[in-house]
Amino acid sequence: MSSDDDYEVEVPDLAADDPMRAFLPTSFGKKSKETDVAAQIDRSRRVVDRPGAEGSGGQGKRLQEPKKAHDSSDSDSDSDDSDDDDDEYPVSHELVLKTHDRAVTTVSLDPAGGRLASASLDCTVKLHNFASMTPTTLRAYRSVDPFETKSSAASESHPIHHVEFNPLSGGVFLCISAHLQARIMSRDGDILTEFVKGDMYLRDMNNTKGHISEITTGTWHPTDKNVCVTAGTDSTLRIWDINNKRSQKEVIVFKSKAAGAAGRTKMTTVAWGSPAQGGNNILVAAALDGSLVMYSGNSPFSRPAGEIRDAHKPQTWTGGIDISADGRMIVTRGGDDLIKLWDIRKFTKPLVTVSHPSTSDHYQTSNIRYGPNSTSIITGSATGHLHILNPGNLRAEHVTPITPGSPLITVDWHPKINQIITGSTNAETHVLYNPTMSSRGAVEVMSKAPKKRHIDDNSEFTMDQSVGISGDAIVAPGALAGSRNAGVTVSGRSKDPRRPHIPQQTPFQKNQPDEQRIAENIPLARMLHEDPREALLKYADKAQSDPMFTKAWSKTQPETQYAEISDEEDEGPDKKKARR
């Protein structure tokens, strides 16, 4: 038989609508299941009521894909405007991270855009790595409590006000909580530096080595990766060198004119900017008395370069401030429901003032940020909408709901990956992106295949839910999670001599042993379930008739004899007659 002969395979003749076709193979060999990336990304497309209309109650509508250059559209002008907005801003798709328990107060991305740090009122910092997440594993790879101490049994916790990655190196981030000591932490969540606290009994703030009251916020130097600044409620701005934690590098004492003789007020926010084309740095801060003060970014800081006393309403919290890329414009968001635009060349009155509902009364970390290249300004609202404003006249160019009904606290727009990150009061972190405009980040996550599930991945079947470890795991002393914080040494002894050591709960202490095996292998084990009194009385008659240990006494022990008592003796001795 030659190799050129044709082989015919007999195939049953079936009609096109025959249900038997569902059971016949369509191909031979191993079939590979490829991930439908387009379908995964399409499932993350946002659904809004009416794009650009805040608080509208219209019918839900999915944001459209960006139009191609060669596509032609015959739609109405309204839909054209909405499509243009989607093409211009990365808000068509979103990735939702539900890793916190309370309101998300601050978010920050490293310079490369691959790692996200979010902090919350639950006193924890969550670290997310986009490279390790998949559409089915949207979780933080580490949760850090900055005030979790290893040397003491009792640890304190404070809400986190601000986290910010170093914009130059990205290897560390600044962590500020409701405490008087700021911390420098590594990108993996380890505490590298803890700045010193000041002496609260000194009246002159120039002589203290650190803050003496709560720190509100802070930021990094725009050109020096080793320098940062913190703003505190002790009316000071302190510039730190992260390599020297024992004392601040510079201290700027702000003397409020509205505070009277004391001259102290709370510094609410601070920004440090540098012109992209080169020039002098500027340091701008806002105070609780409504003042807006500007310093030259380079020392000395003895006198402010400009000061506006009533920039915002006094005793309202100005939580948002940012400097444009060219270093000429400053935008502030105050607690008086106003957003103002300032020019440092004429630092006397605002150029533009618009009304915007504030959330600073309840959430002091509400911010406002410039977009990439300062072409836009973004901020959140009390209704849960994201506002993208024009940087020239502060008019809303695009408004889209993120968490309707839950105020939007913090926003950030990363220039490299072109994605917007938001944090809301409902403990959700949203990453907004556009598949054609954005790169890496959420796009990389949604382009991965979902993680294959196995029965061992279900912790309900393989883990002890109350302890969090496997039932057949080998538990070494001090190796359990949280054992270092229990105030015990590695050997299990309590570090506090006044407090007894409470053994760590393990699955072995909870499991009931096999009673049949114990009864067979351990002598007298059945006596554990018997009444000892009944067990002893059972031998009372036998002990009386045939004593085992007192048998010799039956011959040597004398019989007990009692004296007979007469009736007269029973009356007792005569009583002495009473004397008359």
Determine the Cα–Cα distance for residues 435 and 445; give it in Å rounded to an integer: 11
Query: Cβ distance 485 to 155 under 8 Å?
Result: yes
Distance, in Å, from the CA atom of 540 to the CA atom of 506, rounded to the nearest integer, reads 45
* DSSP H stretches of helix in 4-54: 37-43
Taking residues 267-277, report their average pLDDT. Answer: 90
pLDDT tens for each residue of 427-460: 999 999 999 999 999 999 999 888 776 666 665 5
Quick one: pLDDT at residue 329?
Answer: 94
pLDDT at 220: 95
Q: Is the pLDDT of residue 60 over 60?
A: no
Specify the range with the lowest mean pLDDT, choosing from 23-37, 369-383, 491-505. 491-505
Which pLDDT belongs to residue 70?
Answer: 40
Using pLDDT thresholds of 50, 70 and 90, give the confidence band for residue 18: confident
356 token code pair: 């915007």
Structure tokens at 119: 């902090």
pLDDT of 496 > 90? The answer is no
- Structure token pair of residue 191: 């505490």
Contact 218, 227 (CB under 8 A): no
Q: Which pLDDT score is estimated for 537? A: 86
Of 420, 432, 437, 350, nearest in space to 379 by CA: 420
Residues, the chain, total? 580
Q: How does pLDDT run across 416-436, given as a tens digit for each residue? A: 999 999 999 999 999 999 999
* C-alpha to C-alpha distances, 188 to 140, 143, 164, 172, nearest whole angstrom: 11, 10, 14, 9
**What is the SS3 assignment for 144?**
strand
- Residue 38's pLDDT is what? 86
Alpha carbon of residue 365 to chain centroid: 15
- What average pLDDT score do residues 536-540 get? 84
With cut-offs at 50, 70 and 90, classify the pLDDT of residue 302: confident
Nearest CA to 409 among 48, 120, 99?
120
pLDDT on residue 57:
41
d(CA 44, CA 38): 10
Residue 510 pLDDT greater than 60, yes or no:
no
- Rounded to the nearest 5 degrees, what angle is found at the Cα of 309, between the Cα atoms of 306 and 214? 95
CA-to-CA dists, residue 434 to 51, 91, 443, angstroms: 15, 6, 8
pLDDT digits 0-9 by tens, 83-109: 555 568 999 999 999 999 999 999 999
Looking at domain 87-450, its CATH architecture is 7 Propeller (2.130)
Which residue is associated with the tokens 């533009």? 352
- Quote the CA–CA distance of 164 and 222 in Å, as a whole number: 12
Distance in angstroms between the alpha carbons of the first and the last residue of the chain: 155
Question: To the nearest whole percent, how much of the chain has pLDDT over 90?
Answer: 50
- Amino acid identity of residue 216, one-letter, is T
The reported pLDDT for the residue numbered 484 is 47
- Whole-number Å distance between alpha carbons of 44 and 67: 18
Confidence of residue 549 (pLDDT cuts 50, 70, 90): confident
Among 198-207, 240-249, 298-307, whose mean pLDDT is lowest? 298-307
Q: Mind listing the pLDDT tens digit for each residue in 208-252?
A: 999 999 999 999 999 999 999 999 999 999 999 999 999 999 999
Closest of 350, 249, 255, 266 to residue 300, by C-alpha:
249
What pLDDT score does 478 carry? 52
- Which pLDDT belongs to residue 546? 81
Domain ranges of the chain: 87-450, 476-537
What is the reported pLDDT for 55? 45
- With b for 16 or more beta-carbon neighbours within 10 A and e for fewer, the 90-122 pattern comes to bbbbbbebebbeebbbbbbbbbebbbbbbbbbb
**Tokens 């008395």 correspond to what residue?**
289
CA distances from 574 to 264, 563, 577, 580 (A): 98, 20, 9, 18
- Tokens 């990304």 label which residue? 41
Please check the confidence at residue 156 and state whether its pLDDT lies above 90. no
Q: Is the CA virtual torsion 24, 27, 30, 35 positive or negative?
A: negative
Phi, psi (degrees; rounded to nearest 5) at 338: -135, 145
pLDDT tens column, 353-365: 999 988 877 888 8
Query: What residue type is 538 in one-letter code?
Result: K
pLDDT at residue 279 above 80? no
What is the model's pLDDT at position 516?
75
Q: Quick one: average pLDDT of 176-185? A: 94
Q: What's the confidence (pLDDT) of residue 68?
A: 40
Any idea which residue has 């509208």 for tokens?
Answer: 56
Lowest mean pLDDT among 19-33, 64-78, 346-360: 64-78
Under the banding of pLDDT at 50, 70 and 90, the label for residue 371 is very high
Percentage of the chain surpassing pLDDT 70? 74
pLDDT digits 0-9 by tens, 70-87: 444 444 444 455 455 556
What is the average pLDDT score of the chain?
A: 81
How far is Cα 332 from Cα 145, in angstroms, rounded to an integer?
31
Contact partners, residue 47, CB within 8 Å, separation at least 6: 60, 61, 62, 63
Sheet hosting strand 215-220, strand order edge to edge: 215-220, 227-232, 236-241, 250-253
- Dig out the tokens for 505 from the structure: 């709960």
